[in-house]
Chain A
Amino acid sequence: MAEEKKDTDLWEVFIQPKNGLSHRHCGSIHASDRNMAILAARNVYARRGEGQSIWVVKSKDIVSSDPNEKAENFSADDKIYRHPTFYDVPDDVGHM
């Protein structure tokens, strides 16, 4: 049994709205372990039938880039050939 009070971790919550769609980030919660994290995510973000599956991941386990490095990470403005704007997406394709 831990002697000291341990603060709860911050977790990021992702919800998959339906089959075939990707899990989308919807917010964060505090919880002491993985079981509690799923329950807290359900209590806070899944109250109105938002989806069918929940992911939680500790915020500190996410590796993120420095926003100051935006210019070198996101330098596609002058490379229009990287955007699929020369194709028409048929209506039936739905989500792409």
Chain B
Amino acid sequence: MKKDMVDMVFEGLLRIGDDNLILGHRTSEWCGHAPTLEEDLALPNIALDLIGHAQALYSIAIQLKSDYNHEDQLAFLRLEHQYKNLLLVEQENGHFGNTILRLFYFSTYMKYFWEQVSINCFFKKLKEFAEKAFLETSYHSKYSSQWVITLGDGTEESNKKMLEAVSNMEPFIGELFDNDEFADISFKNKFLPKPSSIFKNWEKEVKNVLKKGKLNLPEILLKKNGGRKGEHSEIFGFLLSDLQYMQRAFPNSKW
């Protein structure tokens, strides 16, 4: 691959890898705190799936650049502005309904994303990985959609909490479908799908699930972005200090 193509693939892998790592980390914060034993297994399992995706993507990425020899360098040793994840995934968990809705939005997006990658991506390693990732994210989407319906159409209190969740997430959804310069270039080169191309399927499915849960999807406008450029929320620094503690305190430590 030519250098500009290598840079493009590396950037793309970081973006998706970081989304998965950061949401995986947030989801893992539920470990030992979930409302029931069933969810205390479900959420950490999903967190592990997401972190597993990040690890797979970082390990493909480090093969492209000689500056790295271990995926931990990408996961744990970058500075705040070097992470390219969406603002949506770094937001604090809030209550269970809030966490579930964020997972539902993200995993439904990723399901369509991986489906496209598994059909169209020129980069074979990612194309192969996309098939496995599609299955796992489909399950995450199904799991969270059931909870959105159950809580939305549950008691008065659970419905109120889901309404809160819908409005908490609203400013961060636009960024999911935002086409920047990288998105255009990577689409032209048959690497990744254009984020905006996923919107139609996503909107249809999300609206349908929210409706079953007596909730409405607000109009999606681009309100906040910057995650892809490394401009994060204030809380992101606290997240990283937790995520990176072990590697910073004990450099090169391994499991």
Contact = CB atoms under 8 A, between A and B. Distances in A.
Interface of A: 1-6, 8, 29-33, 35-36, 39-40, 43-44, 47
Given A1-B159, A30-B36, A36-B146, A43 B153 contact: no
Nearest to A2: B155
Given A1-B159, A35-B146, A47-B45, A40 B38 contact: yes
Contact of B41 (A2, A32, A33, A44): A44
Contacts of B56: none
Nearest to B48: A47
A43 B38 contact: yes
A5 B42 contact: no
12 contacts: A1-B153, A1-B214, A2-B155, A4-B155, A5-B155, A33-B150, A36-B146, A39-B143, A40-B38, A43-B38, A43-B41, A43-B143
B162 to A, nearest CB: 12
B142 interface: yes
Interface in B26-45: 36-39, 41-42, 45
B36 A2 contact: no
Nearest to A33: B150
B100 to A, nearest CB: 12
Contacts of A5: 155, 157
B154 interface: yes
Given A33-B150, A39-B146, A47-B45, A1 B156 contact: yes
B149 to A, nearest CB: 8
Interface size class of B (residues with CB under 8 A): 10 to 19
A7 to B, nearest CB: 11
A76 B154 CA distance: 50
A2 B154 contact: yes
Contact of A36 (B37, B41, B150): B150
B155 A30 contact: no
B45 A43 contact: yes
Contacts of B36: 8, 30
